[in-house]
Amino acid sequence: MSILMHACTLVVKILILPLQLWELLGLYRFYKRVFPILTYYVSFSYNRKMDEKKRELFRDLLRFSPRDGPLHLLEVGCGSGANFQHYPSGCNITCTDPNPHFKDYLQKSMDKNDHLVYENFVVASGEDLRVVEDNSMDVVVCTLVLCSVKNTPKVIQEAIRVLRPGGAFFFLEHVEADPSTWTYFFQHVFKPLMYYIGDGCETTRATWKHIEAAGFSDLQLRHFQAPLFFLIRPHILGYAMK
């Protein structure tokens, strides 16, 4: 399978040469304006199909509320705010995303979800959250982000830094499939194309390995098959405590 997989990947790489040229010429930055529109509309369908899983995941948020005040939650790579409806009332939200063009779509989600208190939207990558103080958050959330970041261990270390002791890192991510499956084969073959469509998204990341290696005190992590397009069907969800 490996030789065939590499041969097919090479064909895909050749076919997407125009996209690589586009990036080389600096034209890909225009897609950064289009991607938030796509993400905003795709998130309705994703949320509908994943409603049960998101409910299951975010039900545990309240376990991390402090006794004497609201839950302080940092969302890394917030995009258009597709998770807001699942956060508990009164929750204090800080959002970060490196793409400033999400702002208008984020605002739409904020307007719809007035049960939350919005602290700030910061344009920053998850690898460098210096605007957020050490030990200041009860919860950090990442959904469909660790497939796109440049340095997954660094993003997780930043999450750990800003979490208070006993706080938790919540995640929901699509991941690499089992190597014995055709999904794995096609994830690798179409990876170069998906990278451009998904603004840096890689379908072949074994993200759970980075979470397991990060040194959390307690880890609740589950693999499951999401009812989605087959390349992004393998998912993980859970939370990990500092």
Ligand X SMILES: C[S@@+](CC[C@H](N)C(=O)[O-])C[C@H]1O[C@@H](n2cnc3c(N)ncnc32)[C@H](O)[C@@H]1O
The answer to whether the CB of 187 falls within 8 A of the CB of 158 is: no
How many residues form the binding site for ligand X (CB under 6 A)? 21
The only residue of 92, 125, 183, 207 in contact with ligand X, by rule CB under 6 A: 125
- Judged by CB under 6 A, the chain residues 177 through 206 that form the site for ligand X are 200
* 3 state DSSP class of 169: strand
Q: How far apart are CA 63 and CA 59, in angstroms?
A: 8
3-state secondary structure of 84: helix
Q: Cβ closer to ligand X: 185 or 240?
A: 240
Instruction: Show the binding pattern over residues 59-98: x = contacts ligand X (CB under 6 A), - = does not.
Output: -----------------xxxx--x--------------xx
Q: Which residues pair with 140 in a beta bridge?
A: 74, 169
Instruction: Taking the CA atoms of 73, 45, 235 and 187 in sequence, report the sign of the dihedral they define.
Output: negative
Does residue 237 sit in helix, strand or coil? Answer: strand
Considering beta carbons, is residue 78 or 175 the nearer one to ligand X? 78
**CB closer to ligand X, 185 vs 232:** 232
Would you say 22 or 46 has its CB closer to ligand X? 46
Site string for ligand X, 129-158 (x = CB under 6 A): --------------xxx--xxx--------
